Amino acid sequence: MLKVMELRRKLKHLKDEGNAVLARTEAEKRARTPEEEARFAAVNKEMDAVDAQMGEYIRVNRISEDMLRTYEPNRPALDQKGSAGPFRSFGEQLIAVADYTRGKRGDNRLFEVRAPIGMGETIPSDGGFLVQTDLIEPILKRMYDHSQVLSRVRRIPVSAPSNSIMMRTVDETSRANGSRWGGIRAYWEAEADSTTATKPKFGRLEMKLEKLMGVCYATEELLSDAAALEAIISEGFKDEFDFKLVDAIIRGTGAGQPLGLLNGGGLTTIAKETGQAADTVVTENVLKMWRALWAPSRPLAVWLYNQELEDQLEMLSVSIGTGGALSMLFTPPTDVNPFGRIKGRPAIPIEQASGPGDVGDIMLVNLGEYLMIDKGGLQAATSVHVQFLTDETTFRFVYRCNGQPMWKSALTPYERTASTFTVSPYVTLAAR
């Protein structure tokens, strides 16, 4: 028995060492050094070895859970039936976690979903349990598959050793001769008598992972129904995380959250028309927004707008003499096309668009020019202590991600009439 206690002390020491590495890098806001990464991997390997050694010792010596509780009276007993295979549903695992944290008999399957260092798999106060990967990933998948905004952004996963991404980009702000690709220039043979060597100019796009965290409380009554619990938590968090991510893509500040399109340097803003009434959208606005969209972006561009503008979009008109006629720029939704279309591109109403008359109430964007990074998918933990007085269990979900527009500035075309005319994959309308 003393051997088991010795192994558990060794396991705790290893876990503390791993936690120290994580705490140091988190405090200094940096990635782990090669030496730290090597030691971190070695700690995880040693922990697995100690776990295996302890399990084998318990099996060979036939140490029962009752005997273990003599030395650890607060540790709930595990079922003696052994592993029952993976959890069949998300709700089933959440109920098993809640039962464990409340001191009821444990489910061995919880301990097969290994928690990372700093989130003990047998001590709820250390942080809780990881949710079985094949159960939690569908929440994230549904967000990116079904969201009209998230499904269109460029998404890149960050590799395991890193907490950030750095990409080389072409620093191009003008298509004038000598400025394309930041400085590359080609000459016809007749001009080559006095050519000057040229080279491209590169910029750098760098992002560090931020955390989007969601918390919910489940009552004792809800915890008795696995199907209801799974439906409520899965759908609720999918919708909430989708909402917050899209809102950040539109107007995020870039401080502790993604940088939004409306706050990025590449945004092109179209001025309102002279004498234009407040809170309105007119035909000239739409035509000028389309003109300012970077032409290669048109096949992938979408209109994002506040639903309150829909009647105005359907009634866009053009003047003809002293009268006028509908412009037919806006095509209403049909059974085949669930969204309307403007200039042939999908027009999608979103909650996160600004109120009528404010910047961002209507946007024309190529979301493929917006970069999202993430790491590890969703992570989940649970605690029974936070809402003890109300008899509720707390479930916490964390998604490590970040995002920003790939264009740092609008682009000056090769030929133009107005000296201020620029194009961009992100176009919006000025306040009215």
DSSP letter string, 41-53: HHHHHHHHHHHHH
Please state the separation of Cα 272 from the chain's center in Å: 34
Cα separation of 427 and 304, whole Å? Answer: 10
Q: What is the pLDDT of residues 358-390, one digit of tens each?
A: 999 999 999 999 999 998 777 766 665 545 445
Q: Residue 170's closest CA among 187, 157, 158, 183?
A: 183
Residue 429, strand partner residues: 270
Q: Which long-range contacts (CB under 8 A, 24 or more apart) does 54-58 make?
A: 54/4, 54/7, 54/8, 54/11, 57/3, 57/4, 57/7, 58/4
pLDDT tens digits, residue range 58-94?
Answer: 666 665 555 554 444 333 333 433 444 566 666 666 6
pTM score, whole prediction: 0.67
Whole-number Å distance between alpha carbons of 405 and 308: 27
Q: pLDDT for 226-283, tens place per residue?
A: 666 666 777 788 888 999 999 999 999 999 999 999 999 999 999 999 999 999 999 9
Q: Report which DSSP code applies to 6.
A: H
Give the residue among 103, 105, 141 at the shortest CA–CA distance from 124.
103
Q: What is the pLDDT of residue 119?
A: 33
What burial letters (b/e) apply to 316-335, b meaning 16+ CB within 10 Å? beeeeeeeeeeeebbbeeee
Per-residue pLDDT, 337: 85
Report the C-alpha gap between 122 and 69 in whole angstroms: 13
Collapsing DSSP to helix, strand or coil, 191 comes out as helix
Of the candidates 198, 201, 202, the one whose C-alpha atom is nearest the C-alpha of residue 178 is: 198
Instruction: Show the DSSP H helices in 169-297 as ranges.
Output: 226-251, 283-292
What is the dihedral angle through the alpha carbons of 326, 328, 329, 334, rounded to the nearest 10 degrees? 140
368 and 154 Cβ atoms separated by less than 8 Å: yes
User: Residue 126: which pLDDT band, with cuts at 50, 70 and 90?
Assistant: very low
Residue 122 has pLDDT above 80, yes or no: no
Which two three-digit tokens encode residue 172? 């191009």
The DSSP bridge partners found for residue 305 are 349, 362
Find the Cα–Cα–Cα–Cα dihedral 407, 410, 412, 414, rounded to 10°: 40
Residue where the block lists tokens 């940088």:
259
DSSP symbol at 33? P
DSSP E strands in 90-201: the ranges are: 154-157, 164-170
pLDDT tens-digit profile of 188-210? 766 556 666 677 777 778 899 99
Tokens 């179209």 label which residue? 270
Specify the 3-state DSSP secondary structure of 51. helix
Mean pLDDT of all residues belonging to the chain: 78
